[in-house]
Structure 1
Amino acid sequence: MKVITLIAGILSVLILMLSGPLYQAEVLELRQAFMGFRVALIVGAIVLVLVLIQVIFMRKNIVWSTTIFSTLLALVAVGFPLGMMNKGKSVPAIHDISTDLVNPPKFNAILALRADAPNPAAYQGEEIASQQRSAYPELQTQTYSQSSDLVFDAALASVKNMGLEVVTADKATGQIEAYDTTAWFGFIDDVVIRIQSQADKTILDVRSKSRIGRSDLGKNTERIHEILNGIQLN
């Protein structure tokens, strides 16, 4: 049984880890890739049951190093999908986040790149704004005392430091557009930053939107926070 348990443990992790790369390689559809998570979780749970049986009823024949290794593999296969499920339950099922919910920044230069994206570029208005207000009340328009040129340069530096692919950076219009590609599944999220002068202040808004998927599992919000935290002004 210990050999079966070990093989099942390895298989559960392989199913989990290959789901993203196989989707990126277009071997699997997105639905099939997510199904891989469920299969990995089920196989991992079976491994834990087998380990428990061995510990209780077959203790004399246990090879502890193999049993511990199998258990660790199973915990990864079970824990990661469960973590994502819990994350999904803790955040609203939205994928378009903005610091300005009344007049969010609009995508322009990046529209051609997301022409075939399942999620349209247009903002859905109050349908998602109300959910964002409840979940992420801290996301607000940012105000700076520095000039718009300095804020623009700092915002662009933040985007570049994060490794986002810049599509346009037009200081004349105060607009920066870029996109971010996730490592595992290769999902692409688009970002637009709008910088405007207002009296003696500079105001900045950020919007981050996924090209695919109903829920972003909080990723767009995390990205906006990272962009804002990365804006360094003296």
Structure 2
Amino acid sequence: MRRLILEEPNSASAIWARRLAVFAIALAGMAVILVRTRAADATAGLSVLGAAIFLACASLLLAGAAAVTIWRMGLRGVGIAVAAVFLALIVLAYPGWLAVQAVRLPVLNDISTDINDPPAFARSARALRGRGGFVPPDVPAERRLAQRRAYPTIQPINIDLEPEEVYQLVLRAAAALHWQVVDQVPPGGRAGIGRVDAVDRSVIMGLPDDITVRIRPLAAQTRIDIRSASRVGRHDFGANASRIQRFSQEMQTQLDAR
């Protein structure tokens, strides 16, 4: 007489957890591709990403429910639930890091090395064309005070070179950082001030951020002030301060290479 061996079924919660996690990864990838290729604007892309985050959270909840039913009822599906958790955490890792930054840092999206007289963004036809007609708005002085407490190392750069030499170094640093220069004015005129305006993009979503660098002669030095502003969102999560620090490091690299 043949014995019939019945296998326990897989947990339905585990199966749905994995399905939602896979769908969340697909949505997150779609959001990144849509924004980076400019097939959709930032608002639409971030909405899709928000849906992916919601699905990833739902997947984690279902995976937790699956763990309970598997433990109590002896169902199969441990591997499926673990896979769901792993996939969901891939989607949630970067948003989770941003959440930590949002709590840790003040709500700022415009950072400058000179908070009393920040460099102004160019409004020339070339600059407006390069920025798609966008001009970053001015920031109230009281909001910039929070920058001083959060980013005390963001300071002007003073270099013992002539403004024309510093201007060339700034252009080289911008090229090394893969910035898109949208306007440039060499030092000259009565004030001797030069300027470089550029656009940089965020690493993952490719969102545009605007940069302006002011080159101003001093008595025996040249002073560089840089301002970096995000176009999307009220909180930059520290991205603009990090960009300014990378620029300062690249300027030192360019100086060492002279």
Q: Give the TM-score normalised by the residue count of structure 2.
A: 0.78
Separation in structure 2 between the aligned mates of residue 59 and residue 146 of structure 1, nearest angstrom: 75
1:217 aligns with 2:229: no
Contact 2:57 2:88 in 1 (8 A): no
Contact 1:111 1:121 in 2 (8 A): no
Amino acid at match of 2:120: K
Separation in structure 1 between the aligned mates of residue 233 and residue 174 of structure 2, nearest angstrom: 23
Separation in structure 2 between the aligned mates of residue 106 and residue 230 of structure 1, nearest angstrom: 22
- Classify the secondary structure of the residue corresponding to 2:96: helix
Which of 58, 63, 68 lines up with 2:82 in the alignment? 68
Contact 1:96 1:220 in 2 (8 A): yes
Which of 3, 17, 22 lines up with 1:5 in the alignment? 17
Amino acid at match of 1:84: L
Unpaired runs of 5+ in structure 2? 1-11, 188-192
Amino acid at match of 2:30: L
Q: Who is 2:200 aligned against? A: 180
Q: Who is 1:198 aligned against? A: 218
Separation in structure 1 between the aligned mates of residue 244 and residue 101 of structure 2, nearest angstrom: 18
Cα offset for 1:97? Answer: 0.7
Q: Who is 2:92 aligned against? A: 78
- Overall identity of the aligned pairs, in %: 23
Unpaired runs of 5+ in structure 1? none
Q: Which moved more, 1:140-149 or 1:120-129?
A: 120-129
Cα offset for 1:115? Answer: 6.5
- Classify the secondary structure of the residue corresponding to 1:61: coil
Q: Who is 2:6 aligned against? A: none
Change (3 A) 1:228 1:91: same
Q: Who is 1:136 aligned against? A: 151
How many pairs align?
231
1:48 aligns with 2:63: yes
Q: Give the TM-score normalised by the residue count of structure 1.
A: 0.85
Cα offset for 1:193? Answer: 0.6
1:146 aligns with 2:167: no
Cα offset for 1:85? Answer: 1.6
Separation in structure 1 between the aligned mates of residue 107 and residue 82 of structure 2, nearest angstrom: 37
1:100 aligns with 2:114: yes
Q: Which has the larger radius of gyration?
A: 2
Cα offset for 1:38? Answer: 4.0
What is the Cα-based RMSD across aligned positions, in Å? 2.6
Cα offset for 1:84? Answer: 1.7
Q: Which moved more, 1:21-30 or 1:70-79?
A: 21-30
